[in-house]
Amino acid sequence: MTIRTIVVFILVGLAFATLALYKAHHAAPHVTYVKNSWCNDPGMIDLGPSRTGYVDVRGITSNGDEIVGNFHDDKFGPNHIFLWDRQSGWQDLETLGLSNAIAAGITEPDRSIVGQFTGTDGTLHLFRWTSREGAVEMGVVPIERFSVTSVAQDGATLSGRSTDANQRVHSHHWSRSDGFVTLDSASGAILEETASSRDGRVIAGDLEIPGKAEHLFVWTARSGVHDLGTAPGRVAKVTGVSADGSTLAGSLLDSDDVSHAFRWSTAHGFENLGTVAGRSTGIASVSADGSVMVGSFHDAARRIHVLDWRQESGFSDLGTMGGKSAWARLVSGDGQTLVGSFRDQEGSDHLFLCALHAAGQIRN
């Protein structure tokens, strides 16, 4: 065998090895089903570990059939956008052919991914992406240091936050008809949006009045800002809004720095929902009708458990999903599908889906 032949064999072998490594690196996470007493058959759907530890879930359809979000393919690479559905599984959409593209939500019924990207001139733009049309530019963002925080279900409106030169946070609302509107308060307070309704018509968050305690607020395009006053705690944060905006949910700190779940509704005002077993408890997301909430709490060993709350039964402890700790991220509009993440025994974070059973009581 000549030296040239040996070199050819080596090069061919390296090519196949490189191709195998590329395929392994870019393959979809391995999906497994794990039996879980709180998840309907075939069980909890484990979408596999993140190689970099960064997975950001940004949207889920009303029936829980599709989720969208962002992840890093490697620690130093660009942000990638992913789409998961029950038919095709995990799909790495990479950057959608855009610069610095970030997904912010998914719309219905057309299943568009909406987000932001940086144009060739350095300006920020909005985009909409579908598998049929690809990425379509939706307009320039005339606000510096802006990020989209939520997208309406029909894609007609979105909301976001920006930071000014004094590091103060401002909230903004965008619609196809009116463009960008900055949320202002007649009192001159600074509004920080932390949650919005699925139709995008109601925005809720923190209202900061200089020299006074922090309030919560609700904003609608029709009536503007409504000051809800102070929550029954030192600090409160809204993390979920029902579809029609009539119910808010979130977390508040008591005088001992223990986090409690709370709910606010137009019918009953503020309600302190308390804690699970006296431990710090928080709400992450709310179903469309406000009857199902999901969140997390700490147990006595400081492990984090997933929970759900329902009007008829209160809190249910869903455990750690087989890991050391687990976090709820979003619940579908129909309240039947939970998406979250758990940390396995080796320290890797996994994304999971769980089709929830009917409510049960906390397990001892």
pLDDT value at residue 14: 31
Pairing of strands 349-355, 337-343: antiparallel
pLDDT value at residue 245: 86
Mean pLDDT of the chain: 82
**Residue 175: C-alpha distances to residues 67, 80, 152, 179, 333 (Å):** 23, 26, 10, 5, 22
Residue spans per domain, the chain: 30-355
Confidence check: pLDDT of 31 > 80: no
Confidence check: pLDDT of 359 > 80: no
- The pLDDT of 251-262, averaged and rounded, is 89
pLDDT band of residue 18 (cuts 50, 70, 90) is very low
Identify the weakest region by mean pLDDT among 37-51, 151-165, 174-188, 206-220.
37-51
Q: Which residue has the tokens 């620690």?
A: 75
d(C-alpha 333, C-alpha 128), whole Å = 21
Q: Which residue has the tokens 């065998």?
A: 1
Percent of the chain with pLDDT over 70: 82
| Single pTM value for the model | 0.83
Residue 42: cis peptide before it, omega within 30 degrees of 0: yes
CB atoms within 10 A of CB 169: 17
- The pLDDT of 124-132, averaged and rounded, is 95
pLDDT value at residue 347: 84
pLDDT band of residue 19 (cuts 50, 70, 90) is very low
Which of the two residues, 91 and 24, has the higher pLDDT score? 91
Q: What is the pLDDT of residues 279-326, one digit of tens each?
A: 899 999 999 999 999 999 999 899 999 999 998 889 989 999 889 999
- Write down the H helix ranges in the chain: 3-26
74: CB partners within 8 A, 6+ apart? 51, 52
pLDDT value at residue 75: 67
Q: What is the pLDDT of residues 144-172, one digit of tens each?
A: 899 999 999 999 999 999 988 888 888 99
- Nearest one of 249, 220, 219 to 236, comparing CA atoms: 249
pLDDT value at residue 65: 92
Confidence check: pLDDT of 187 > 70: no
- The pLDDT of 84-106, averaged and rounded, is 92
**Residue 122: C-alpha distances to residues 96, 100, 103, 142, 162 (Å):** 17, 10, 18, 12, 17
d(C-alpha 224, C-alpha 245), whole Å = 13
- The pLDDT of 334-353, averaged and rounded, is 90
Residue 217 and residue 228 in contact, taking contact as beta carbons nearer than 8 Å: yes
Question: Domain spanning 30-355: which superfamily?
Answer: TolB, C-terminal domain (2.120.10.30)
pLDDT value at residue 125: 97
pLDDT value at residue 53: 63
pLDDT value at residue 260: 93
CB atoms within 10 A of CB 350: 23
